[in-house]
A and B are shown apart, each in its own frame.
Chain A
Amino acid sequence: MLLAVLITNSEGNILVERFNGVPGEERLHWRSFLVKLGADNLKGVKNEELCVASHKSVYIVYTVLGHVNIYLVGKDEYDELALSEAIFVVTSAIKDVCGKPPTERLFLDKYGRICLCLDEIVWKGLLENTDKDRIKRLVRLKPPTEF
């Protein structure tokens, strides 16, 4: 299960927070844990360079893209490798929507479309689409080209 997708600005303020199968009372804990993890480790990390950690049998893969930090949390079959596959899809989709690694402002400007992309990528904790071109067309309700 892909337990969480969290996107924050560089100060750690939440931009997008989507949990799957995480009880309400644990969410705050996860949020602060991830934000602290980013604050400790993401300084000086290059765009899209992946960082990894594990905590209580779940895995976390996170990265920087422009001025936003992206965190993915998974467990069982969504281990560090599956998560890096998923985070790659997420970063490519965001870059695609924003045209470049986004500033916080640009990210918020494209907020609706980014939500649609995330909706195409993760379906309640399961990875659904992984191809950025297809995702790009799907959020415009266009059929995929390869078909």
Chain B
Amino acid sequence: MAQFVKKDDDRDEEAEYSPFLGIEKGAVLQDARVFNDPQLDSRRCSQVITKLLYLLNQGETFTKVEATEVFFAVTKLFQSKDIGLRRMVYLIIKELSPSSDEVIIVTSSLMKDMNSKTDVYRANAIRVLCRITDGTLLTQIERYLKQAIVDKNPVVASAALVSGIHLLQTNPEIVKRWSNEVQEAVQSRAALVQFHALALLHQIRQNDRLAVSKLVTSLTRGTVRSPLAQCLLIRYASQVIRESSMNNQSGDRPFYDYLEGCLRHKAEMVIFEAARAITELNGVTSRELTPAITVLQLFLSSSKPVLRFAAVRTLNKVAMTHPMAVTNCNIDMESLISDQNRSIATLAITSLLKTGNESGVDRLMKQITNFMSDIADEFKIVVVDAIRSLCLKFPLKYRSLMNFLSNILREEGGFEYKKAIVDSIVILIRDIPDAKESGLLHLCEFIEDCEFTYLSTQILHFLGVEGPKTSDPSKYIRYIYNRVILENATVRASAVSTLAKFGAMVDSLKPRIFILLRRCLYDNDDEVRDRATLYLNTLGGDGSVVETEKDVKDFLFGSLDIPLVNLETSLKNYEPTEEHFDISSVPKEVKSQPLAEKKSAGKKPTALGAPPAAPTSTVDAYEKLLSSIPEFSTFGQLFKSSAPVELTEAETEYAVNVVKHIFDKHVVFQYNCTNTIPEQLLENVVVVVDASEAEEFAEVATKPLKALPYDTPGQTFVAFEKPEGVPAVGRFSNVLKFIVKEVDPSTGEAEEDGVEDEYQLEDSEIVAADYMLKVGVSNFRNAWESLGPDFERIDEYGLGPRESLSEAVNAVVNLLGMQPCEGTEVVAANSRSHSCLLSGVYIGNVKVLVRLSFGVDSSKEVAMKLAVRSEDESVSDAIHEIVAN
């Protein structure tokens, strides 16, 4: 091992001489055979382990066989008494992470070390054992670990505590038994032991609010030695504050004085943690905020980039919720725009954009223009988003902000950046009518020189929707027709569609549009030609100025009303015969997205493409879905669809939830099923429902699901008949039945034969609230008066002893399923009485209003007066019945 001889630090010599030069996995594995030598050479063994570590740290991986071989060889090194080597052995075992069947070979050596008189052997053995152990071994060594937690040597205690934090993820029930020892360790004089113990104790007790609160109370009074532990304590204290503020809205905020005191701590990380905790308090007042903002402002001019970053990041967050509180820092922020660190500069700019006032917009834009040229695209996108929000906040400033966006649109940039700008312009056009014409022209200019086909086609589509509605639609035609001449086939086809839209919507332009479309008939791409032919024929291409009929417009430009995926599949399956393709044969059932896609789908609304969905879209979607199923098409108008109720635990083999659809005479259960096992295909999936505890319901139809492949949700339905207009309730037990077929994961093909199987689901219920739609009223008093006292029913009820008044109010609101009005569902802390106003629409489309008056006595007995007004006497009675039962 000549390479390991110490060299002097001559740079020239080094460049050609690395101790790991030409290192190769195979050779190192060969070298590892020295571990088996009867006469161990500790120095050489250490060098080989170093090489193994080097390989692992370079991202190299060992196969199972290689790792096992090395691991077994390494275990021989326990024979050596060399301390340096032993330390290396501990490390390499952890890095190799042997499998559970191999672990056994080292456990006895490690157990011996764990009881060693040498403290550091103990600490290391604990760390290794806890890294490689499983539950059964853990119970064997638990006794030693508990002792180690309270060991007087801080290294041993810390090793056991940190191990505990990791083990809590895999063996929570064991670690939770250590709580007394951990509690003792929290009082340790060693700073790090206290830090680790506090972290573990909190994790053990995180679901026990009272215990956390007690822990925080005692520690905020006592001494916390390390700044790291102090930070943890601040976090836990703010958690306690958050939870207690739900019950206690009046009076002083608990622990605020403690947080405020931490702002004067000597460690910067504690100051920041406290400042952040204060700024994030629920309903923080400006008096509470001021001291935190003041310290953060001081850090804005710190010489250390980390502190400037931390300060501006925190203030940026505050700017979202309390922009006025941050305005004092604006001067310091402005100087950060030129900060060398681009992250800091971007945060400063976005904060300024949030806090700036209308008069300062122009000046700010000037500063940003210089800044934009030298930051990366990802920062630019953040700035673009902030500018869009600013523009929506100050619509009068749209001119300068729109100009800014169009200027940066012309500069160099990647797709994501350009898309962010285009999206922003589109949103501004939609929300600020005055900005429409100039915005459209900016987009037109952009597509004159746009390298991204996707953006060009999206903009063309948008122009087709918005352009014809402007005062002078003709000025956009030139830009659109240029695309037909200059661009690739995809863009040309889009441009043809856009031209046709102008033709259909603006009669005066029609003759000229037809001339342009006729030129497209000679395009060398068939899609472009086809589109031109279609539009010319349907719009009446003979050149006469006639109004395009509504159904032609709907056919050409309306939405297809069927999922595109389904259309694609149907078209692929269609074989050209005498019979024409029938679009009405395409199923309208929406196949939900696979799980993976769902997770990745962003929440951000996209500006281009589909118009924003209306709030009722889920109901609409359900209605369409149900009406497309022949068995249910006679059920009439859908009254209500519930939110999905889970019928399986999280992370089981099959995930099933149910949506309850209520009709006048029927109830349909829609079971949304997901198969989470890649090796299985389920067929003929049905839910067998036992309605013996729901006497008024009779099953009338079942719609099975043909196939349920892995990770692609599907639906099966069961429909029941019930007496018309009667709010029948009941409980249903559900069993999922199916034929399961094995799938070969490599080919994805299922076997031919399957086996019948079933899977027990949770029960579902139809309750009174299912017959009530949550519909609010803007002015309850007026609505109440206008309904009049004719069908008013008033009665009083005793609700028995309750945990709190607020809990009783919630229970009644949930029972009735009505919409609380005017914020009356919130009960003031410590109040003895409360009034709550509810509104809703009962099945049969009957409007209902409810006034609830609650009172609570010293023994927590709650009494309630219920006054109902509705358009129908029997409905008022029905509401009382719900409560009485």
| A positions within 8 Å CB-CB of B | 14-18, 27, 31, 41, 49-55, 61, 77, 79-82, 84-85, 103-106, 108-109, 111-112, 115-116, 119, 123-124, 126-131, 134, 138-144, 146-147
Known: A27-B59, A103-B11. A53 touches B343 (CB 8 A): yes
- Determine the chain B residues whose CB is within 8 A of the CB of A55 once the complex forms: 378
Cα separation A142 to B87 with both chains bound (whole Å) = 11
| Interface membership of B166, Cβ < 8 A | yes
Known: A14-B58, A17-B58. A52 touches B305 (CB 8 A): yes
**Apart from A109-B4, A143-B153, A143-B155, 18 more pairs, CB < 8 Å:** A50-B305, A52-B305, A52-B309, A52-B344, A54-B313, A55-B378, A80-B313, A82-B269, A111-B19, A111-B50, A112-B50, A124-B166, A128-B162, A129-B155, A141-B87, A141-B121, A142-B120, A147-B190
User: Contact check: which of B58, B131, B305 meets A124 at CB < 8 Å?
Assistant: B131
Cα separation A55 to B309 with both chains bound (whole Å) = 13
How near does chain A come to B109, taking the closest CB pair, in angstroms?
15
Query: Which secondary structure characterizes the binding site on chain B?
Result: helix
- Determine the chain B residues whose CB is within 8 A of the CB of A108 once the complex forms: 18-20
Cα separation A33 to B264 with both chains bound (whole Å) = 37
Asked whether A139 lies within 8 Å of B305 as measured between CB atoms, the reply is no
User: Contact check: which of B7, B88, B228, B268 meets A112 at CB < 8 Å?
Assistant: B88
- Determine the chain B residues whose CB is within 8 A of the CB of A27 once the complex forms: 59
| Interface membership of B310, Cβ < 8 A | yes
- Determine the chain B residues whose CB is within 8 A of the CB of A147 once the complex forms: 152-155, 190
Q: Which size bracket describes the interface of B in this complex?
A: 35 or more
| Interface membership of B703, Cβ < 8 A | no
| Interface membership of B119, Cβ < 8 A | yes
> Which residues in chain B, 333-379, are within 8 Å of chain A measured between CB atoms?
341, 343-344, 378
- Determine the chain B residues whose CB is within 8 A of the CB of A116 once the complex forms: 87-88, 91
8 closest Cβ contacts across the A-B interface? A112-B50, A105-B14, A81-B269, A52-B309, A141-B83, A16-B57, A141-B120, A53-B343
- Determine the chain B residues whose CB is within 8 A of the CB of A18 once the complex forms: 57
Asked whether B228 lies within 8 Å of A85 as measured between CB atoms, the reply is yes
| Interface membership of B46, Cβ < 8 A | yes
Asked whether A112 lies within 8 Å of B6 as measured between CB atoms, the reply is no
| Interface membership of B477, Cβ < 8 A | no
Asked whether A127 lies within 8 Å of B228 as measured between CB atoms, the reply is yes
Query: Which secondary structure characterizes the binding site on chain A?
Result: mixed
A36 closest partner in B (C-beta): B376
How near does chain B come to A132, taking the closest CB pair, in angstroms?
13
User: Contact check: which of A15, A52, A79 meets B57 at CB < 8 Å?
Assistant: A15
How near does chain B come to A68, taking the closest CB pair, in angstroms?
13
A134 closest partner in B (C-beta): B155
| Interface membership of B222, Cβ < 8 A | no
Cα separation A73 to B20 with both chains bound (whole Å) = 26
How near does chain A come to B368, taking the closest CB pair, in angstroms?
20
Cα separation A142 to B119 with both chains bound (whole Å) = 9
Query: Which of A52, A54, A55, A143: most chain B Cβ within 10 A?
Result: A52
How near does chain B come to A10, taking the closest CB pair, in angstroms?
12
How near does chain B come to A8, taking the closest CB pair, in angstroms?
11
List 26 A–B pairs whose Cβ atoms lie within 8 Å, in order of A's numbering: A52-B309, A52-B341, A52-B344, A61-B306, A77-B235, A81-B268, A85-B228, A103-B9, A103-B14, A111-B53, A112-B46, A112-B47, A112-B50, A112-B88, A115-B53, A115-B57, A123-B163, A123-B166, A126-B162, A126-B165, A138-B120, A140-B87, A141-B120, A144-B154, A146-B154, A147-B155
User: Contact check: which of A17, A61, A112, A134 meets B49 at CB < 8 Å?
Assistant: A112
Asked whether B18 lies within 8 Å of A105 as measured between CB atoms, the reply is yes
A137 closest partner in B (C-beta): B120
| Interface membership of B666, Cβ < 8 A | no
Cα separation A97 to B19 with both chains bound (whole Å) = 17
Known: A17-B59, A116-B88. A81 touches B304 (CB 8 A): no
Query: Which of B6, B14, B341: most chain A Cβ within 10 A?
Result: B14
B119 closest partner in A (C-beta): A143
> Which residues in chain B, 1-58, are within 8 Å of chain A measured between CB atoms?
4, 6-7, 9, 11, 14, 17-20, 46-47, 49-50, 53-54, 57-58
